[in-house]
Structure formats: structure tokens, C-alpha cells
Amino acid sequence: MNEACAPPLADALRVAAHAWARLRAGTSLDRALEAARQATAAGPHPRLAAAAQDIAYTATRHLALIDAAIARLAARPPDAAVGALAAVALGQLVAQRHADYAVVDQAVAAAKADASTRAAAGFINALLRRWLRERDACLPELLRADEVRFNAPRWWLERVRAAHPQRADAVLDLQRRPPPLTLRVNRRRTTVAAYLDRLAQDGIAAEQVGAAAVRLRTPRPVDAIPGFAQGDVSVQDAGAQLAAQFLGARDGMRVLDACAAPGGKTAQLAELADIELDAVEIDRARAARIESNLARTAAHAHARIRVIVGDAAQPQSYAPAGGYDRILLDAPCTASGIVRRHPDIPWLRRPDDVAQLATLQSRLLEALWPVLSRAGRLLYVVCSVFPEEGERQARQFAACRADARAVPLTAGAEPFLQLLPDEVAQPWRGGTPTVHDGFFFALFEKT
């Protein structure tokens, strides 16, 4: 962020600290940030929300390290509000986003500005200064703990390792880092080559990483992405872009997007073919985001789209008489494949969630299969790397359904595709994207 137009760091630290306290009480980081912005009323600076978000996300990417550092540096655990401010300030020191003195000075100013932390301004000052004095010795020692090195609870690390023994450490290491910003080029409006030219003319470094996927070398806000407001491009991971491609909807087909919000794949489906599309979403607030995505990409010009707020597992309430030719089930899951976008996930999930979500996914699969027409295809997708939600789920479904044939998604022998998060250095030359998050895909045809 340009320092000249950045909000005071103390204000951003305060908002981020309020969000951190909510996160540690079990609220997702995005919801926590929204609530914190309202609660702190920290001033009307236009970039305050973005600055606080950056600080809170940075701290969350170092959550285990921050916890370990505070446990080491403080004589006794600080209360929640003080600990939160110390945590987000430590996150800035660890990530070296600003000069050390500026972080300490602004953290103390933030402490003094808030009644819940005022009395602890001296404590915060002392704790941060002690970190600066001791970090060279302290850091390598703290990083020896696996939870700190990979920033995830032990049970989470064990599950990833059990599922992917060969690739686990590479996956976990990648998931600690900030995510790439990948765009989907709207083929109704432009081509990848033309869009890359346009970026080059604007001096924006980018490369093609998938069939319609362009990765920007340096992330930027959506209002600074050429053509975003006009719907020429949308923000979507290159792995996520495979779903609509695998589904293979063609002109005139009736298509169901069963768990649709925020509508990234709904809009993409309308970009690929002239279809009749039902987008079902159980969460009313999230469903509103589908409409704004569709409006921005002018999706209604090509598809007859109904956005339906409801339970996808009750298709009798929304499915047309003849059923659907294509069903996309992008099911709710642990989101263990997109941790670099949502670093709070491993800290919010509980071990039991995996089995509970697997049950929900299976319920959705069972409920949707009857409304798939003969010779129709259903694509099951989760953004997870856990086999309980992916391969095991798909195998179990196929085993119980005599009328389901798994359609191979790649040239190899495997019927399903588990993509682990990756960033390949070589240029994209067709096929699987080179830069992507973690997803599981299974395509079933009704025989």
C-alpha cells in the first residue's frame, strides 16, 4: 500500500485486534473483520478496512508463532483485548511490513486509544521491544515446533500427512504463503491473449496459468484490475475454473448449480454455453452475492438463470419436471484445499467437522442424483485435500449406485482427480493449470 494514502497504522492495528479477538473466540476472519469495522468506528479513512484486513490476515498466517512468542515473552497470559493487540502488532514485526520502531510506536498509540487496552500500553511496549531484542535467538527455536512451522494444529497436520505422505510438507508449506491472484477471462468478451496484451500495455506483469486463467504477478484490489468492473475478467482460482470446464454444459442444456454462492462458477457456466441455469443457495445473504456476480458479468444475456434460496437437498421444491442435463455439486467442505486464501480455516475447524461434512456431502449427492436426467452428468467438487470428502466419498457413491458411471477426467487410469495446491515454475502448456488451490473432482454419468 502506498504509505502516503495509507490510514494511520494505529487505527488499522486497532480494527485488526478487534477482529483477532473475535477470531480466537471462533468467528471466521472475514466475519470478524466486518464486525470489528462496525465495533471500533476507528475513523472514515477509505483504506482502513483494507489495511486492517491485511494486518489481520498477516497475523493469522503466523498464528501459532505469535501464540508461542507471547507465551515465551509474557510473564503471564494477557487478557483477550491486550493479547489481541500484541498479536497483530507481533504479526507486523514478524512479517516486517513496516519499520520496527513504527510498529511499536503505533501499537502503543493503539493501546492508548482504546479503554480496554489503555492500562496495558506499557506492557505492549515492553513485549514488542523484548521480541525485537530476542527474535534472532527465539525464532529458530520456536520454528522447530511443527505447528509453528506450518501454522496449523497438530491434528490437521497429521491428517494432511496421512492423506498425502509424499506431498504433505510441500502442500503445508505452500499453504502458509499468501495466495496468488488469478483471474478467469470471460471468453464471451475477450481472449486470454488479448487480455494479456491489455495488461502489458498497462504495465501489469501477468502470465497464463490455465485455459482461461491469468495470474497477476502482484495482487491488487479488484477496482484496480483492468476490465473487472465490466465483467471481462473475474477473480477465480485456476483449479476452481476446471469445474465448469469438466461439467461440459452445452447450448440448450438445463443445468443445476447446487451450492452456488458466491456465484463464481454460476457466472462461469453462463460464459461457456447458452443454458437454462438454476443456482441454488441455502444462505440468503450469500445468495445476494450471486446476483451481483451475474450482473457484473452480464450472465443473463446468455443464460436463463433462476437464483433460488433453498436447500439443494430438497430438489422437489425447485427442479423442473424433466430434471437436469448437468448438475454441479460444489459441496460445502472443510476447505482444506484453500488454506492460503483462508488461513483461519485450520484454526476454526474441529476434527469432528470432517466426518460431519462428509455426511452432508453424501446427503446432497443422494438427493440430487434422482433429478439428473438419463445420460446426464453430475460433477462433484470439494475444495478439500481430505480423502473423506474426496476420493472416499466418490468411491462410496459409485459403489452404491448401479446407474452411475465415473467419467475419467484426465488421460491416466484414475477416474477421479485430486488436485493438491501447487505452483509450478514452468509456463502453462495446456492441461492442468500450473498455479492452483486444492480440489477434488468426480464426474458421474447416469447410465
Ligand X SMILES: C[S@@+](CC[C@H](N)C(=O)[O-])C[C@H]1O[C@@H](n2cnc3c(N)ncnc32)[C@H](O)[C@@H]1O
**Smallest separation, CB 322 to ligand X (Å):** 21
| Cβ distance to ligand X smaller for residue 254 or 265 | 265
By CB under 6 A, tell whether 61 contacts ligand X: no
**Smallest separation, CB 145 to ligand X (Å):** 32
CA gap 399, 231 in Å, rounded:
42
State the helix-helix crossing angle for 100-112 and 9-24, rounded to 10 degrees. Answer: 70
CA gap 399, 84 in Å, rounded:
49
| Cβ distance to ligand X smaller for residue 8 or 262 | 262
By CB under 6 A, tell whether 139 contacts ligand X: no
67, 278, 330, 391: which one contacts ligand X (CB under 6 A)?
A: 330
| Cβ distance to ligand X smaller for residue 248 or 262 | 262
Integer angstrom CA distances of residue 60 from 132, 145, 409 = 20, 17, 35
Contact 266, 239 (CB under 8 A): no
Instruction: Give which of 381, 313, 386, 380 is closest to 349, Cα–Cα.
Output: 386
By CB under 6 A, tell whether 309 contacts ligand X: no
**Smallest separation, CB 311 to ligand X (Å):** 4
| Cβ distance to ligand X smaller for residue 106 or 336 | 336
Integer angstrom CA distances of residue 328 from 241, 258, 292, 356 = 13, 6, 20, 21
13, 312, 354, 358: which one contacts ligand X (CB under 6 A)?
A: 312
By CB under 6 A, tell whether 390 contacts ligand X: no
CA gap 51, 375 in Å, rounded:
51
Of the candidates 138, 333, 383, 400, the residue annotated as catalytic is 383
By CB under 6 A, tell whether 379 contacts ligand X: no
Catalytic annotation present for 383: yes
Chain positions 229 to 288 lying near ligand X, rule: CB under 6 A, are 259-265, 280-283, 286
| Cβ distance to ligand X smaller for residue 330 or 391 | 330
- Residues 284, 290, 296, 299, Cα dihedral to 10°: -130
6, 80, 313, 406: which one contacts ligand X (CB under 6 A)?
A: 313
By CB under 6 A, tell whether 214 contacts ligand X: no
Angle (nearest 5°) at CA 89 between 217 and 41: 90
CB burial of residue 44 (10 Å; 0-12, 13-18, 19+): exposed
Q: Which range of residues in 18-26, 75-83, 136-144, 310-318 is near ligand X by CB under 6 A?
A: 310-318
Contact 385, 333 (CB under 8 A): no
In the complex, the residues that contact ligand X under the rule CB under 6 A are 259-265, 280-283, 286, 311-313, 330, 332
- Tell me which residues are annotated as active site: 383
